[in-house]
Amino acid sequence: MIETWPCPGGDGQTDEFAVVIDRARPFRLLIVPPLLDEMNRTRRLAVGTMRALDAHGIDSFLPDLPGTNESLQPFVSQSLHGWRTAMAQAARHFAATHVLALRGGALVFPNVLPGWVVEPVMGASLLRQLLRARVIAAREAGRHEDSAALLEIGRTEGIELAGYDFGPALIAGLDSARPLDEGQREIRAGELGGAALWLRAEPGDDPAQAARLAAIIAAGIAA
């Protein structure tokens, strides 16, 4: 089900949304989603994992990053720092005992919690793909653009990439951000037994991967 949670926002406190399976059980997993397009591509994997975790007796919480998905905050005012603060707040609000960060979620997750990171990615890698998508689109439209020049514009003025209105803070943050995992167990795509869904051009689904991911988490929590 969908619940709201209080989150620090531009004008003080604001409500954000989260998918929640909460039966007041002792193990409570916060899921920090991937960033940007990869969030959409992995949405069904994340929700499928939550359902499978429910069957393992584990509660789980999938909050929106402010400015994305159902959030009412403007994307342009987001930063990695803001997302870190928001995810830490979500962990407190839902009383999470463990955390699962997917891909770019590893750049902003509350790493004080024990848990798992799935294929953590450097911020610069995500940014490079977005810049390239824009360069490729411009070339198809007969214009010349250059990744390095676009990055410089993005860092000073902000820039639109793949339909997202990036402020300079988020560009600068992504350009230098590294995964924050500290003792969490890293899960590689191959362990889930299927193609990496965050690469998929059209959002896909793979219930077997969700079941596998949930089983890894359930085994780790029980250990």
Chain residues binding another protein by CB under 8 A are 37, 125, 128-130, 132-137, 139-140, 146-147, 162, 195-196, 199-202, 204
The nearest distance, CB 89 to another protein, in angstroms, is: 30
CA 213, 90, 21 angle in degrees (round to 5)? 50
User: Would you say 8 or 204 has its CB closer to another protein?
Assistant: 204
User: Would you say 90 or 170 has its CB closer to another protein?
Assistant: 170
The backbone torsions φ and ψ at residue 165, rounded to the nearest 5 degrees and listed phi first, read -95, 90
User: Would you say 182 or 202 has its CB closer to another protein?
Assistant: 202
Residue found under tokens 């399976």: 21
Task: Enumerate helices (H) and strands (E) in the chain, giving the number of each.
Answer: 7, 9
- Record the tokens describing residue 199, joined without a space: 């690469």
The nearest distance, CB 198 to another protein, in angstroms, is: 9
The nearest distance, CB 103 to another protein, in angstroms, is: 12
User: Would you say 51 or 200 has its CB closer to another protein?
Assistant: 200
The nearest distance, CB 150 to another protein, in angstroms, is: 10
Residues 157-171, buried b or exposed e (16+ Cβ, 10 A)? Answer: ebbebeebebbbbbb
User: Would you say 88 or 130 has its CB closer to another protein?
Assistant: 130
The sign of the torsion formed by the CA atoms of 158, 160, 161, 164 equals positive
The nearest distance, CB 44 to another protein, in angstroms, is: 13
In this structure, the number of other CB atoms found within 10 A of the CB of residue 219 comes to 10
